[in-house]
Amino acid sequence: MLQDEPPLVIRSAGTLLDDRAVIFPTLKVDATDRPDVAVLPEIVALQGVGDLSTAADVALLADGRRVVRLRVSMTEPAEISWTVVLHLPAYTDLLRLAADTGCLVFAFTVDGDDGSERGWLGVDVDPDALRSVVEFGA
């Protein structure tokens, strides 16, 4: 079971096509209450990505719906973690694509921005572990 922490709010979800024509799942998340997360793409751009890991589990909400809680943790170049909650079945296809590509891209925004992203961060995920969690929750 993942530690409880307030999750980042997902503003939108979609896909990103890279220059090799590979499609990556993308979450646009609100980091207004987490300035440490909002500046993370800038830190990574300057210092590189260090030790990054993900963990996921399935939780049952009081109303009976299932969600996948995905936690991202980094220890270098900054010690930071954040969680997003993805409702099933709404995010099932996005999570399966993340498992297929081994990556989930986060775009961070904050209130007061013009709606554009502060920065993007591609996070490697364990494909087999994520696929198992998604299939268990489906």
Residue 100 lies in a domain: yes
Residue 85 lies in a domain: yes
- Residue 123, pLDDT score: 93
Residue 89 lies in a domain: yes
Q: What is the pLDDT of residues 86-112, one digit of tens each?
A: 999 999 999 999 999 999 999 998 876
Q: Could you tell me the residue range of the domain that residue 89 belongs to?
A: 9-137
- Residue 4, pLDDT score: 63
If one compares 129 and 114, the residue with the highest pLDDT of the two is: 129
Residue 4 lies in a domain: no
- Residue 1, pLDDT score: 45
Nearest-5° angle of CA 87, CA 84, CA 41? 140
- Residue 2, pLDDT score: 52
Total domains present in the chain: 1
Tell me how far CA of residue 21 lies from CA of 25, 72, 121, 123, 132, in angstroms: 13, 26, 18, 18, 27
Residue 23 lies in a domain: yes
- Residue 85, pLDDT score: 95
Q: What is the pLDDT of residues 3-52, one digit of tens each?
A: 567 899 999 999 999 889 989 999 999 998 998 898 888 888 888 777 88
Residue 1 lies in a domain: no
Residue 24 lies in a domain: yes
Give yes or no for residue 75 having a pLDDT over 90.
no
Is the peptide bond between 35 and the residue preceding it cis, with omega within 30 degrees of 0? no
* Dist CA 75 CA 22 (whole Å): 28
Q: Where are the beta strands (DSSP E) in the chain?
A: 9-17, 23-30, 52-60, 66-74, 80-87, 103-109, 119-124
Q: What is the pLDDT of residues 79-92, one digit of tens each?
A: 889 999 999 999 99
Residue 2 lies in a domain: no
